[in-house]
Amino acid sequence: MTTKLCACCKEAKPFSDFAAHRTNGLQAYCRPCSLVKSREWAAKNKERKNAHKVSSRHSDIERDRANRRRHYANNADSLRKQARDASADKKAKRAARQRRYRTENPEKIRQLNRARVATKRAAGKVTRVDIERLISLQKGRCAACKKVTVRGGKGFHLDHKTPLSRGGTNYFGNLQILCPECNLSKSDRDPHEFMVERGFLL
């Protein structure tokens, strides 16, 4: 077996213990010594290491994408089979989680079912145009606390002034934009009660 002397540990090791070098055939250090040297250099040169990561990130991404495409092309059948098996396993696990949740939370399930039925029975239909019109009329602000909620970093909730569970509709006049905090606080409460609590009505 052909061996090579490691420049670090000074031990003669087989060629398989040395990584390939672009021009000189094999690296001067064996793989274990090379790993130790690399870690020592990285610990002493954190800024240069980070700069190298940033500069090479794009090329690494493209290289990884090319490798994945090549790997998929060479192993398409086995990868498809793995995906099918994984999909079936995920479906089974998800079904088990759902059954367990329904068993442990019967009241929440009843609430969800009532809400689903109320939504189907409610008159009217919410459209994207309605939502855009609301945002424009409210100037992107919550109807309750007046904070900017659209483009404010936390998003907004579409609220029914009179909840569907209390006979409300999906018509434009029953809709408003609320921030997530106000909408979750309002929930399905009576709108008059909610506004009195917030100090808007006496």
Who has greater pLDDT, 191 or 154? 191
| Fold classification of 125-197 (topology level) | DNA Binding (I), subunit A (1.10.30)
Q: Tell me phi and psi for residue 156, to 5 degrees.
A: -140, 165
Q: What is the pLDDT of residue 154?
A: 61
pLDDT tens digits for range 121-174: 788 888 888 888 888 898 888 888 888 887 655 678 888 888 887 888 888 888
Sign of the C-alpha dihedral, residues 178, 181, 184, 190?
negative
* 54: pLDDT strictly greater than 80: no
Q: What is the pLDDT of residue 109?
A: 85
pLDDT, mean of residues 87-93: 85
pTM confidence score: 0.44
Give the helix ranges, DSSP H, for the chain: 31-44, 46-74, 76-104, 106-121, 128-137, 180-186, 191-197
**How do the domains of the chain map onto residue ranges?**
3-69, 75-104, 125-197
